[in-house]
């Protein structure tokens, strides 16, 4: 019987270590290596993927706190939404936005090789710049509308969207072969159905949060379905354009899935 607590502690340390791997990858927060991580085996991003929705929820929760503080300080909803999104971009280091810009610029390439070269180029072109502006405005305006309707709804949607969009970003990494031999795409080839099943269940549970703020079940499930459909569309487009996936593709999918969630909750349908 004395072995049970030790095993339980080791398992919890493993979960915590996996979560920290995802947080370090998804944010620019300098998280130091903690003492218990030294006792856990070396962990890959692919093996830790089941913690992605929880890491996303924590990122969304941080943004939700900023939104709550901004509104309590008396900022208009539009400015509160702007401050929140700016803080979210700073927290994540614009990782996903960079992927969206590179993916959009790649649309101008004529061949697979050209598109991959464009995505690897650190410069931002016209398509990428426009994609960034449109995506940022869509997120700010949607969040402002939600905050105007209900601060509780805006806060829960922020958390749910941050979790689900990062989970959906894993799908192209699982469904498509890596387009390069290096980078995030090549580093996540160990994703498997068991991990994705756990990720999906966790995503669904977190995605139900807006129910507690008055959202209907149809709206909540609709947001997940529309985000999944948008993700699948991105996978099909990516397969046609570059016959594979990269980290930029995952970043672009995250942005598209997040925006899709906001649009469902702000629509009047």
Average pLDDT over the chain reads 88
Query: Is residue 177, in this structure, part of any structural domain at all?
Result: yes
DSSP 8-state assignment for residue 45? T
Query: Is residue 170, in this structure, part of any structural domain at all?
Result: yes
pTM of the model: 0.90
Query: Is residue 4, in this structure, part of any structural domain at all?
Result: no
Distances (CA, A) of 122 to 117, 118, 149, 172, 174: 10, 8, 39, 22, 25
> pLDDT of 78-126, one tens digit each?
999 999 999 999 999 999 999 999 999 999 888 999 999 999 888 899 9
Query: Is residue 229, in this structure, part of any structural domain at all?
Result: yes
Q: Which residues contact 267 (CB under 8 A, 6 or more apart)?
A: none
Q: Which residues contact 218 (CB under 8 A, 6 or more apart)?
A: none
> pLDDT of 165-213, one tens digit each?
999 999 999 999 888 766 565 555 667 888 899 999 999 999 999 999 9
Higher pLDDT, 75 or 26: 75
* Helix orientation angle between 193-207 and 52-72, rounded to the nearest 10 degrees: 20
| pLDDT value for 255 | 97
Query: Is residue 11, in this structure, part of any structural domain at all?
Result: no
Query: Domain tally for the chain?
Result: 1
In DSSP terms, 245 is beta-bridged to 178
| pLDDT value for 7 | 47
Question: Domain residues for 202?
Answer: 52-266
């Amino acid at each position: 019987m004395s072995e049970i607590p030790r095993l339980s502690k080791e398992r919890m340390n493993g979960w915590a270590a996996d979560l920290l791997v995802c947080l370090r990858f998804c944010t620019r927060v300098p998280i130091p290596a903690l003492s218990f991580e030294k006792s856990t085996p070396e962990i890959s991003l692919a093996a830790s993927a089941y913690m992605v929705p929880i890491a996303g929820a924590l990122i969304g929760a941080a943004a939700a706190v900023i939104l709550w503080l901004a509104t309590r300080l008396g900022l208009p909803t539009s400015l509160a939404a702007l401050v929140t999104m700016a803080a979210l971009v700073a927290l994540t280091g614009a990782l996903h936005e960079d992927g969206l810009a590179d993916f959009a610029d790649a649309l101008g390439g004529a061949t697979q090789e050209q598109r991959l070269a464009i995505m690897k180029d650190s410069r931002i072109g016209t398509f990428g710049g426009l994609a960034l502006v449109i995506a940022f405005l869509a997120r700010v305006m949607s969040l402002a509308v939600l905050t105007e309707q209900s601060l509780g709804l805006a806060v829960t949607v922020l958390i749910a969207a941050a979790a689900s969009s990062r989970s959906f970003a894993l799908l192209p990494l699982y469904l498509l072969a890596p387009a390069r031999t290096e980078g995030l795409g090549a580093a996540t080839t160990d994703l498997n159905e068991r991990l994705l099943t756990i990720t999906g269940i966790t995503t669904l549970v977190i995605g139900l949060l807006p129910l507690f703020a008055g959202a209907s079940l149809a709206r909540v499930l609709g947001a997940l379905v529309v985000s999944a459909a948008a993700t699948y569309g991105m996978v099909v487009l990516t397969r046609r354009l570059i016959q594979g996936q990269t980290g930029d593709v995952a970043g672009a999918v995250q942005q598209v899935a997040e925006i899709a969630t906001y649009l469902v909750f702000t629509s009047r349908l």
